[in-house]
Every structure is written in structure tokens, then in C-alpha cells.
Chain A
């Protein structure tokens, strides 16, 4: 009899441990801080600045979510993760969400039990080589030594690309972007390959960026997006719609400059619904009605975040390209706020 009581208690404890993983939004509110997994340092996307404050395109999304949920864009604990440690960190609950230029793939979504909530950067894998090498196409790289971040989709694309083109290469696996940079600049590898945006960001930090070229081949589709644990739909909704709010804000012309004016009410009901002067969208999410307004206010709309961190006026100098609004020939297309 006693034994069955004990086993019963153990079962309850086990169930409780399982159930605790499912209310991330309550956990975040109770903690008063959002734990956000980012890269160990990729200038423009996520890197600490000279004051030790995290800045970047992915960081801005973490801050927007924190502002939406907690009302404070600085209530974020940034957890640097490598390509290898990121999924374990998310699965184990060490972080609430990952905003870490992570490619949305079938197996990560389905088999690894994560939930990609959208795409914040449409990217593809490219190659960077020193100009002095005189290479103009990735197909001329037969026998080259290639630096590659381990535990990424780029590692698999690389193997596929070289095999499909029947050329050989020597992979040099490395853990972080900083190590790759060191090896590449010292000439320990001829080529550095990762997402084209990451290459541009890395090249921008070189002393002589002009001595290095990005090869024309883009060998893969890399839709990068934020992700959360599978099975916690309320939390996934919060992150998904925060991202959508930033994208819609750009589409409807809501900027950090005019947001206060617009939140007094406009004659566009969609803007009113986003900013919470109409409808109860915030309550449906389990937040208050000003959630999206706070999220947009903290770093501006999607276009502003892009321009500040990685846009053409920054050293990284990425064009909008695929990442323009659908109205301007890009792929950004937020579902309606209704």
C-alpha cells in the first residue's frame, strides 16, 4: 500500500515537472525577465557594444518581445549560444526563445520539437575568399580548405554542394564566428562559408574589408527566424505576433517617431487594432492592449531595426533584397491583425 502511495507521489512529481515546461509566458512574467538565446557575437545581428550592451537585429526582436510581455525592453537576459549548444539550451528551458540566425528546416521544426514562429531574415549560404586568391566562382574551389561553423545547416549544405559538383574540399570545423575569423584571416583556411548576411557582417569587422570578396553562388535557402519550444502555443503566439507587429508596423508606416501620435487613434482600423485603441487583440494573447505599441516603440518597426543594425547605411551594408515588404517586391508579408 505504502509503495503505491510513494509511486503515486513520484508520478505526480514527474507530471508536474512535465507540465512546468508548458507556461512559458507565466514563467517569464513571474521572473520579470526574458531569457533570450543569441549568438556568441555576430556584429549587426547580436553582439555586445563597447558598453557591454547587446545590440543587433536579433537582439532587437528579443527586446521587442520583452517590451510586449514585461513592458520593458531592457528586461532581457541575453544567453550567448553556439551553433552546437543553442538547441539544447532551448529544449532544456534555459532560454525562453532563440533569436539566433537559425535556419527553419523540416527536421528542426518536426523532429527536434521546436516551433519556428516566422522568418525575420531570408538568407542563403555564401562563400567569402580573399581577393588575392583570384577565385570568381565557388566551383573553382576544388581542394580548398573551408572554415565552417559546426552544428549548422551550412555544414550539411557544404557537403552536399561539393559532392554534387564532384569537387573535394577540406573542412575545418570551428565553434564560433570569432574563431572562424581568426583562422580565415591567418590563412589557415582559404574560404569561410556561412549565411551571406553573416559573411557580410564578419567582413565589415575586418581591417581591410575590400581585400575579401563574396562569391556569387548562394547555395541554399536559409530562412532565419526566432523559435520556441514545441507545444507551448500561447508563448509561440506571443513571439509570432510580436514579429508580425514589427513587420506590419513598417507596412502601415508606424515608426518610433510617429507612434505616440498614432496611438491617439487614426482612421485606419488596422493600425488602431495593432496599437490597441480598438479591439482586444492584446487580451486574446494574454497581454494588455498596448503590447504591440511597446514592442514597436523599443526599437522601431522592422524597417527601422533593419536600417539601424544591418542596413545599407551601416558598415555591414546589406540591401533589403528578399527582406523588403511584399508591397516592394520582397517576401515580408504579415497576416492581418484582425
Chain B
């Protein structure tokens, strides 16, 4: 009979946490985690204590107080008797407006400039280089202030349009007034309006949805859908018979005719701006603060996007271009059908971060008095209520939410264009 002795049973000792490589990394991580949490706890408790010592505990009650200040650019109805929450909402919409306008303009400009920078035309390519380097290397705040100063100092004041010997006149058939207070453009009006749907009653988040706009969008959408259907049918016929039926007039007609008919039924007409009292009234007023901010952000970000587009195009091997031209494609077709679709995969990820930058840079709006969310919630509201910590924390949360939303949408788009591996 053999006796088996158990292998010495290894007992867990505390020192093994440090000397045994099996446990060491976990130990270090736990210690680091505890250290981090203590630091965070200390910061929070210190803040809370100091605020309590100052007699200002964290409190969001100010949101339901009347804001008492006016905001010039408001997409929803707002008066100085509305709450701080409503003022923050108006500011948020203003931020979103300039961010969306800026992203679209910057992308269009950036793609054009990026492509032109690779042009074989020496002067065009050099001009684009100057543009990119000029905008990229000067802080965007200076561009914002500079454009605003140009708008204010060079354009005529509304009073210059007045009287018999007016020194300024409206452009585009007396429909658009360009002044140093902004640009007044005609606004769409409906004489047989369907009215609005009013949501959220009298609360701070109330808003109206224009039924006219909804109706136009629905009809327009339906027209585009039918038009796509006609195109697919034409594709099918072409595949079967080799002849492509002429459908362009059908496709245009299904979009234009119903929409036009609806507009006539709704009594669509344009409201022109006219000089009345101190200012132009009627029409849509694009304030120079919006224009300056929008232009500066777009031009600045377009310089970065141009570089991204150029990098994306140069990442596509020259063989692709040569192969496409060997097939007989013209150079603009090569760009739009062969190069750009492949370059998009390289372009989109850095493009996302430029969209995020543009959105965050829009908080420089206060330099020109554009009432974005930093100007309302993080500016006047903070100043009038003295709730620095609360407003800044909320502001950070808002920008975080906007940025994450943009990232999510762009990542989804990136998924849809990336190389499909089969």
C-alpha cells in the first residue's frame, strides 16, 4: 500500500497580494481605484462643505423663477416673464441652430477646398493652401470678432435706407436688406394657414408645431418617394430591355406639382422686409451675431475638413484613378464615383471630431453677443441667480449630451459606408 501525501496545501497569506504575480496587478488596480474614489469624494465633500459654509447649498429651484431678461433671437415664443428653464431652452435651440448650420456649411466648403487643393491648376491649388493655412493657424475667436467688426463697420445702418437721398438700397429686387444689424430676408407666409399644434400647455417646455410646414414636408416626402419608385422602375426596364425610358419629367413632376398645388391652396406668399420706424420689420432677421458666428465657425472648421478630405483622397492609391481613366471615365466622374466613395472611409472618423469641435466652439458666441446656451444659462442666468456650480455643471451636461449625440449619429453613418467585407 502506497501512501499518498497530499501536496503541501498552499495557504493564502496577505503578503501574496504584493509578492505573488498572480494577485499583484489586481492589488495595484484596487489601490488605484480606492485612491481615485477618495480623491473624488474629497473634491465633492470639500465643494459641498464650502458651499454650505457660504450658505449656498446646491439648489436648482431657480429654474422655475422668472428670468426677467429678454433674448433677441428666439425660435420659440419667449418673454422676460418666462422662467430660467425656458431661457435655457431658447439658448439651447440657438446653439443647435448655429451648430447645424455651421456643420453643413463647413462640410460643403471643406470638401470643395480639399479637392481643389489637389487641383493640377497651380494658382487654384496655391490659393487653397493659403486659405487653409490662414484659417487653421489663427484662433477662431479672432475670426469671429473680425467678421463681426467687418459686418458692423462696413455695412450700412438701417437709417441709410431711409428718405429720398438714401445711401443704401435693398438688393435682389428690393427683397433682401443687408444692414449692419443683420440681413433681412423674405419670410414664407400662408394666408390659409392650417394653424399650429400646441404642445405642453403653459409649461416652460411648451412649443408649437406648424401644421403648414408638416403638410408641405409630408407631400414633399411622398413626392420624393414616388420619384424614387419611378427611378427603380426605369432601372428594372433598362436591365431587362437595355433601353432606359425617359423619366426625368415624370420624376420632377411628381415632386413639384403636388407640392406646388398644396402651397397654392395654403395661400403661400412671401413677406418682404420693409423699413418701419427704427428697423426693418417683416421678413426673417438673420442677426449679424448669428452670421458672424456661423461664417467664422464654418470657414475655420472648413480649413480642417479640407485637410481631412485631402488626406482621404491621397490615401486612395493612384492605380484607382488610372484604372478608372483607362475605363474612359472623365476626371470629375472619377472623383465622384471612384475616389470619394472610398475616401469617405478615411474621412469620416476625423470629420466627427471636427463636428464636435465646431459645436463646442460655438460657445464663443458671447464674444459677439449671440445668445446661445452659454450666453443664457451660463451667462445671464448664472449672473442673476449666483448659482455658478449648478449652471456650469448643467452646461457641461448639455454639451456632453449634444457631442455624444453627434458622435452616435456619425458613427452610425460610418458603419453604413465602411468597407463591406463579404
Contacts and interface: CB of A to CB of B under 8 A. Distances in A.
Q: Do A and B come from one complex?
A: yes
Interface of A: 6, 10-11, 13-15, 17-18, 21, 83-84, 87-88, 91, 107-108, 111-113, 132-133, 141-145, 150-151, 155-156, 158-160, 162-163, 169-175, 179, 182-183, 186-190, 230-231
Contacts of A155: 69, 380
B386 A87 contact: yes
Contacts of B69: 155-156, 159
Nearest to A130: B159
Interface residues of B, number: 47
A173 B369 contact: yes
B55 interface: yes
B24 interface: no
Contact of B279 (A113, A145, A231): A145
A275 B149 CA distance: 53
B263 interface: no
B50 interface: yes
Which 7 pairs of residues, A with B, have the shortest CB-CB distance? A187-B157, A112-B386, A159-B80, A151-B383, A18-B53, A143-B277, A173-B369
B56 A113 contact: yes
Given A186-B157, A188-B180, A150 B55 contact: no
A237 B159 CA distance: 53
Contacts of A133: 159, 278
10 contacts: A11-B45, A111-B386, A142-B277, A144-B279, A150-B380, A151-B383, A151-B384, A182-B149, A188-B288, A231-B55
Contacts of B71: 171
Given A84-B383, A159-B68, A163-B80, A188 B157 contact: yes
Given A13-B42, A113-B386, A159-B69, A173 B371 contact: yes
A173 B152 contact: no
B46 interface: yes
Please indicate which of the listed interface residues A18, A132, A158 has the most CB atoms of chain B within 10 Å of its own CB: A18
Contact of A143 (B45, B278, B375): B278
Interface string B186-202: 00000000000000000
B321 interface: no
A121 B272 CA distance: 48
Please indicate which of the listed interface residues B54, B80, B181, B278 has the most CB atoms of chain A within 10 Å of its own CB: B278
A163 B46 CA distance: 43
A141 B281 CA distance: 15
B49 interface: yes
A312 B281 CA distance: 42
Interface of B: 38, 41-42, 45-46, 49-50, 53-56, 68-72, 79-81, 149, 152-153, 157-159, 180-181, 276-279, 281, 288-289, 366-367, 369, 371, 375, 379-380, 382-386, 388
Contacts of B289: 172
A263 to B, nearest CB: 40
Contact of A14 (B45, B157, B384): B45
Contacts of B375: 150, 173
Contacts of B159: 132-133, 187
A170 B386 contact: no
A101 B320 CA distance: 69
B199 to A, nearest CB: 26
Given A10-B42, A113-B56, A172 B386 contact: no
B278 A144 contact: yes
Contacts of A186: 152-153, 157, 180
A187 B180 contact: yes
A84 B383 CA distance: 6
B183 to A, nearest CB: 13
Contacts of A173: 72, 369, 371, 375, 380
A214 to B, nearest CB: 18
A182 B151 CA distance: 12
A17 B375 CA distance: 31
Given A111-B386, A143-B277, A145-B279, A14 B70 contact: no
Contacts of B80: 156, 159-160, 163
B283 to A, nearest CB: 14
A18 B46 CA distance: 8
B152 A182 contact: yes
Given A143-B276, A145-B279, A155-B69, A188 B152 contact: yes
B70 to A, nearest CB: 5
B308 to A, nearest CB: 33
Given A14-B45, A155-B69, A187-B159, A143 B279 contact: yes
A162 B159 CA distance: 22
A14 B369 contact: no
A49 B67 CA distance: 38
Contacts of B49: 14-15, 17-18
A170 B369 contact: no
A145 B278 contact: yes
Given A18-B49, A172-B181, A173-B371, 13 more contacts: A13-B46, A14-B46, A87-B386, A143-B277, A150-B375, A150-B379, A159-B70, A160-B68, A171-B72, A172-B72, A172-B289, A173-B380, A182-B149
A18 B53 CA distance: 7
A319 to B, nearest CB: 31
A163 B388 contact: no
Contacts of A175: 366-367, 369
Given A143-B281, A170-B279, A231 B54 contact: yes
B55 A17 contact: no
Nearest to A135: B278
Given A142-B277, A160-B80, A172-B72, A6 B38 contact: yes
Contacts of A174: 369
Given A143-B277, A145-B279, A156-B69, A18 B50 contact: yes
B205 to A, nearest CB: 22
Contacts of A163: 79-81
